């Protein structure tokens, strides 16, 4: 039975969805009206499921965040056109190298990086969907090599491990070429959702705020692509979670300090401005750290 509060939130969601769909309507983006209608219905149903679950499980926001990310992330993984996320072509190329153990890309002067030929099949159909080109469902992953100019070699390897693992599975199972993209996206999404789940569960405060940040459409969209931004967002949320834990603790365990510093460094090595998250450490009173004498109170 749907309660009054449920109806209020569901109605708000439906109005927002209708307004957004109306503003974004364009004949150029509705080449497959039946598929668009089905996807819209699925989106509405998924939203209602998430709303009802969140209301019934108000004290388990980490599970709510996980559910939202997984449901809408899966829709994004499989429904998004090929390689449409920001710089997804380069991220996909780097992930393909990682899937074959190329943690540090080897640049060949005046030529580029060796990439599997199936990658070019994907590029030529960039922006299309399976409704536009069904050949990806039966074309195998080729292992011939060609050169490609950019693979974001400046990024460190660990932000592509999940995507590379997904591509590795597709290659090992000899799946059709589209599965290299799908499984890469899926593994990236699972890693993001897992880290967010843990971060929100561990934080003693500001759970709702972290849920909102982690479930922003742009965050879920990036996490459900081949982009490295997914793991960067997740580590940033984990970093903030551990800062909150330390700030709320009477005495801060060394483990929390190590994890806080490690996450800050890991994301700072990829996108330098994030390194300034570590400056939040100076907001924590010194007497919370082990080995620091408590301040004397003369009041």
Please calculate the CA angle 285-289-294 and round it to the nearest 5 degrees. 70
Residues 114 and 78: beta-carbon distance below 8 Å: no
- Considering the domain boundaries, does residue 175 fall inside one? yes
- Considering the domain boundaries, does residue 235 fall inside one? yes
Distances (CA, A) of 67 to 59, 109, 142, 170, 214: 14, 46, 35, 25, 12
| Predicted local distance difference test score (pLDDT) of residue 297 | 40
Kindly report the pTM of this predicted structure.
0.89
| Predicted local distance difference test score (pLDDT) of residue 29 | 56
Instruction: Pinpoint the alpha helices (H) of the chain.
Output: 4-23, 33-56, 61-79, 88-99, 118-124, 161-172, 178-202, 207-214, 217-223, 229-248, 254-268
| Predicted local distance difference test score (pLDDT) of residue 193 | 97
- Considering the domain boundaries, does residue 65 fall inside one? no
- Considering the domain boundaries, does residue 156 fall inside one? yes
Domain count, the chain: 1
| Predicted local distance difference test score (pLDDT) of residue 291 | 61
- 170: domain range? 81-299
Low-confidence ranges of the chain (pLDDT < 50): 1, 296-299
- Considering the domain boundaries, does residue 231 fall inside one? yes
- Considering the domain boundaries, does residue 19 fall inside one? no
- Considering the domain boundaries, does residue 136 fall inside one? yes
- Considering the domain boundaries, does residue 44 fall inside one? no
């Amino acid at each position: 039975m749907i309660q009054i509060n449920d109806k209020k939130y569901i109605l708000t969601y439906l109005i927002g969805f209708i307004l957004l769909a109306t503003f974004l309507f364009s004949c150029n983006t509705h080449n497959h009206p039946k598929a668009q209608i089905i996807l819209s219905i699925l989106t509405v149903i998924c939203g209602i499921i998430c709303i009802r679950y969140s209301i019934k499980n108000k004290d388990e926001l980490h599970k709510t965040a996980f559910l939202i990310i997984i449901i809408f992330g899966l829709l994004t993984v499989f429904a998004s056109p090929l390689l449409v996320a920001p710089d997804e072509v380069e991220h996909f190329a780097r992930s393909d190298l990682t899937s074959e153990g190329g943690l540090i890309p080897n640049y060949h002067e005046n030529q580029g990086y060796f990439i599997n030929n199936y990658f070019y099949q994907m590029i030529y159909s960039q922006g299309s969907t399976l409704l536009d080109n069904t050949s990806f469902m039966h074309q195998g992953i080729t292992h011939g090599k060609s050169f490609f100019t950019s693979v974001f070699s400046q990024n460190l390897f660990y932000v592509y491990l999940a995507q590379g693992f997904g591509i590795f599975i597709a290659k090992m199972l000899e799946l059709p070429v589209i599965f290299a993209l799908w499984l890469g996206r899926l593994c990236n999404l699972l890693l993001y959702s897992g880290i967010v789940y843990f971060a929100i569960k561990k934080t003693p405060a500001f759970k709702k705020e972290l849920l909102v940040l982690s479930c922003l459409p742009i965050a879920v969209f990036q996490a459900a692509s081949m982009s490295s931004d997914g793991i960067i967002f997740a580590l940033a949320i984990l970093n903030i979670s551990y800062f909150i834990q330390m700030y709320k603790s009477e005495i801060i365990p060394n483990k929390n300090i190590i994890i806080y510093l490690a996450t800050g460094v890991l994301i700072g090595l990829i996108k330098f401005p994030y390194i300034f998250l570590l400056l939040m450490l100076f907001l924590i009173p010194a007497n919370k750290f082990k080995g620091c004498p408590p301040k004397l109170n003369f009041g």
